[in-house]
């Protein structure tokens, strides 16, 4: 019969996997308790960083339908369960690992797809969702401004053409009136 504590731990980890958009597995060997506490703080409120037992995590991942992380469950393992933006969590882990080389990113999954440590690093290099949306909005605004210019160009050309015709008729009308005035003066 299964130990109730272990069953509860598996159920909790399963719920974490199911409720997360991403999970990043790390090796924390060599980090102090204060460093792990600092890491949890830097990850923010949308990411839960938990030290886990590999066997229980493997069972929980199978129950949650997460595949591709079985090979990562070796050695001391901690999982960053991300419920918010995976890019921000990956950046926080990358930055913390630069300052504390004892933290090793093993890999993980994002939206159900397994990712290697290199994939997580590439994800960390992606700009945040807000920045990408701002760039998209800027590009769309630029395109709209060009479209307005293109639509306004024929109108302004027609206005310039009408003004040129008016000026030409005035000039021709003024030249035609001059000889008529000269004839009446004689």
Decide: 26 and 102 in contact? Cβ < 8 Å.
Answer: no
Is the pLDDT at 1 greater than 50? The verdict is no
pLDDT in tens, 75-110: 888 889 988 888 888 888 888 888 888 888 888 888
Q: So what's the pLDDT on residue 130?
A: 75
pLDDT in tens, 102-144: 888 888 888 878 888 888 888 777 776 777 788 788 777 777 7
Is the pLDDT at 177 greater than 70? The verdict is no
For 115, the token pair is: 């990712």
Q: Rounded to an integer, what distance in angstroms lies between the CA atom of residue 84 and that of residue 53?
A: 24
Decide: 50 and 79 in contact? Cβ < 8 Å.
Answer: yes
- End-to-end CA distance of the chain: give it in Å, rounded: 130
What strand order describes the sheet that includes 113-116? 47-52, 77-82, 22-27, 104-110, 113-116
The winner for highest mean pLDDT among 7-21, 108-122, 168-182 is: 7-21
Mean of the per-residue pLDDT values of the chain: 81
**The overall pTM is greater than 0.75:** no
């Amino acid at each position: 019969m299964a130990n109730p504590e272990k069953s509860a731990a598996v159920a909790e980890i399963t719920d974490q996997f199911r409720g997360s958009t991403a999970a990043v597995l790390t090796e924390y060997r060599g980090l102090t308790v204060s460093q792990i506490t600092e890491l949890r703080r830097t990850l923010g409120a949308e990411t839960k960083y938990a030290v886990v037992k590999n066997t229980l995590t493997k069972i929980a991942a199978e129950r949650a339908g997460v595949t591709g992380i079985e090979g990562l469950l070796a050695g001391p393992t901690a999982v960053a369960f991300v419920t918010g933006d995976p890019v921000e969590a990956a950046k926080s882990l990358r930055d913390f690992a630069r300052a504390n080389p004892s933290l090793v990113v093993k890999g993980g999954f994002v939206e159900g797809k397994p990712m290697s440590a290199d994939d997580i690093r590439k994800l960390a290099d992606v700009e945040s969702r807000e920045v990408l949306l701002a760039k998209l909005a800027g590009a769309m605004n630029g395109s709209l401004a060009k479209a307005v210019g293109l639509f306004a160009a024929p109108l302004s050309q027609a206005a310039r053409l009408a003004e040129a015709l008016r000026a030409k008729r005035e000039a021709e009308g003024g030249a035609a009136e001059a000889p008529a005035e000269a004839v009446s003066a004689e």
